[in-house]
Amino acid sequence: MANANNETPCCIGDRLEYGSVGRELKVGGVDMYLATPKTPTKKGIVVYIDVLGWQLPNTRYMVDMIANNGYVAILPDAFQGAEPWSPDRNIHVHRSAFLEWRKTKDPNKIHTVADAAVGYLQQECGVEQLGCVGFCWGGRAVHACLVDRKDFNCGVAFYGIAHKDDEKLGLLNAPGLFIFGENDPIIPLDQVETLKTELKKSCKVDYHVTVYDGMPHGFAHRKKAENDKDAAAIDGARLEMLKWLEKYM
């Protein structure tokens, strides 16, 4: 997700050829993808999409991974039926179109969709403990949930961050893990440093910020491991996510 200081949107990266193991359903008019663990649990995770939408195989792969590690995981269509950004549209050719498209996709307004997902997990799946995970645009949605809500035990934001001038940047209500790539042109390191400063100044709960050396935007869910360094970063970020969820749920 592009931010206010860098208007270049993220690209697809490597699209996984992945069929997924969960099922689609509709909750309160919102399409969702649900994956469940083999063993019953009262722990649930709401996963937030990137700009490429709720049907992207890469994101569903992450949902299934979370479920396979013992959580009921649900991925709502946060755009509520609106078209996601198409990976087939060249971002340089269609730059102005992307910026226009993005105006109606505010991650700070995630709460109606979050309410629907949370309600389903609690009422239909018996979930009592909640976490949230998001990628890119969804990382910003996680940040918004940790700041504005009190129903999540914790959250993990992959390469997503609220605007650096947001006065609530460091005011988390639940423990937050923020994961970035060192070579991310969408979120340059100065913004990551601003986040660290605000968290240190204002945050009253646990938090952690990790920057993976040499990694681009989207590396944890949209990059194929081309060498040992890639593999270590991708696996490391995913494991860090799982350990954070385990620690606080």
Cβ pair 185, 166 in contact under 8 A:
no
Which backbone phi and psi does 131 adopt, to 5 degrees? Answer: -135, 170
As a whole number, mean pLDDT of residues 197-221 equals 96
Mean pLDDT of the chain: 90
Provide the CA 120 distance to its chain's centre, in angstroms.
19
As a whole number, mean pLDDT of residues 217-245 equals 94
pLDDT tens string 54-99: 999 999 999 999 999 999 999 999 999 999 988 777 666 777 888 8
Give the strand order in the sheet containing 129-135. Answer: 23-27, 30-35, 72-76, 43-48, 129-135, 154-158, 176-181, 207-212
**Bridge partners of 155?**
132, 176
pLDDT of amino acid 193: 96
pLDDT surpassing 90 at residue 112:
yes
Category of 191 on φ-ψ map: left (φ > 0), alpha (ψ -120 to 50) or beta: alpha
The percent of residues above 70 in pLDDT, for the chain, comes to 90
pLDDT surpassing 50 at residue 41:
yes
pLDDT of amino acid 14: 61
Whether the model clears a pTM of 0.75, i.e. scores above it, the answer is yes
Q: What is the CA radius of gyration of the chain?
A: 17
**Catalytic center residues:** 136, 184, 217
Burial 170-204 (b: 16+ CB within 10 A, else e): bbbbbbbbbbbbeebebbeeebbebbeebbeeebe
pLDDT of amino acid 20: 79
pLDDT of amino acid 166: 77
pLDDT surpassing 60 at residue 13:
no
